[in-house]
Amino acid sequence: MLIDGISRQSIESNDNYKVKIIDQTLLPHELKYITLNSFSDCCKAIKDMWVRGAPLIGVTASYGMFFAAYENPSKRNLNEAFKKLIATRPTAVDLKWALENIIKLIENAPTKEKADLIWDFASKLEKESIEQCSRIGDYGLEIIESHIKNDKTINILTHCNAGWLACVDWGTALAPIYKAYNKGIDVHVWVDETRPRSQGAALTAWELSKHGVNNTLIVDNAGGHLMQNSKVDMCIVGSDRTTSSGDVCNKIGTYMKALCAYDNNIPFYVALPESTIDFNLTSGVNKIEIEERAQEEVTLVRGINELGKISNVKITPNFVKSHNPGFDVTPARLVTKLITDKGICRASRDGIRKLFK
């Protein structure tokens, strides 16, 4: 998408086996590109959230497997690399999906060919992610157009960041919004700040603004009030893992927004590529491993200080403990429809099976 009129991707590779990413932990205050040169670089990028978002994690992990094979193509090393990458962000299913496909791909390949095979897989996945997200945008655009009333502004609420920064380009939840904006539709986005890491404030508001999309940042607890007072026409969020029955695991706080939408009869859509669907898992509640993140993410806030430097500020006494689950699960009954790269379907076992049969 666009940054000040220039087209960018969240991850870029070239024929010289170079992989470049945006360090998203510095946004929105600094736009810094980092070159990944090793397996350990890729692990750190995922674990420390230089990159985040299920599709982007899958692509980055694939390049990580390339570096692992380039450094040591033995079966033992690649199996260890697989385990280490899985452990970096255990909730996102795209990561596991990509790595399992790589293991199958190189299972019987000559040792000297493994690295090149993995590179080809990763670069293809990078391109396919863009195409998938563009199709999600096209299907989601149809839904947005169906909700427009009397040529008025359509107000969409989103949670966390499921834009191009979370994918390679376009995004999932934001792809329909970009398509609508590019078509000239008057769209306005309510952006949840998404504590504790503030992906909405730091990333979603930033990327929407850079592209020119009208948006307003809100605190996480304001969504219900806005819905109750007819300020929201629809909600669109992304997903880190969706079960075969339509339960949606996404950034913590998604479940609360779905409940508010349900209570106020507001459509709640989830946008995701096929790779985010875990066809081997039927129920999400209490079945998906929920990543527990550091207490410091809750007790510290990050921003620009009076000297213009990025710094952390303590907002609690030192003796205060915190609990920091990274994700929650929204039951399928609260989801209006799933918007995928293959089309739109009900968030149910039958709906998903018919679309992806």
Q: In this predicted model, what pLDDT tens digit does every residue of 157-203 receive, in sequence order?
A: 999 999 999 999 999 999 999 999 999 999 999 999 999 999 999 99
Interior angle at CA 223, CA 218 and CA 226, nearest 5:
95
Residues 6+ apart with CB under 8 A from 48: 25
As given in the structure block, the two tokens for residue 232 are 């929201």
Would you state the pLDDT for residue 252? 98
Q: In this predicted model, what pLDDT tens digit does every residue of 281-313 receive, in sequence order?
A: 998 888 898 999 999 999 999 999 989 898 999
Please state which CATH class domain 2-128 belongs to: mainly alpha
Residue range(s) of every CATH 1.20.120.420 domain in the chain: 2-128
**Which residue among the candidates 240, 247, 328, 341 is catalytic per the annotation?**
240
Would you state the pLDDT for residue 31? 94
As a whole number of angstroms, the distance between CA 152 and CA 42 comes to 45
pTM of the entire predicted model: 0.93
Would you state the pLDDT for residue 131? 97
Residue range(s) of every CATH 3.40.50.10470 domain in the chain: 134-355
Would you state the pLDDT for residue 15? 82
Would you state the pLDDT for residue 38? 95
Q: What is the residue-averaged pLDDT of the chain?
A: 95
| Sign of CA pseudo-dihedral 159, 160, 164, 168 | negative
As a whole number of angstroms, the distance between CA 73 and CA 80 comes to 11
Would you state the pLDDT for residue 218? 99
Would you state the pLDDT for residue 81? 96
Please state which CATH class domain 134-355 belongs to: alpha beta
Would you state the pLDDT for residue 352? 98
Q: Is residue 240 annotated as a catalytic residue, yes or no?
A: yes
In this prediction, the residues of the chain whose per-residue pLDDT falls under 50 are none
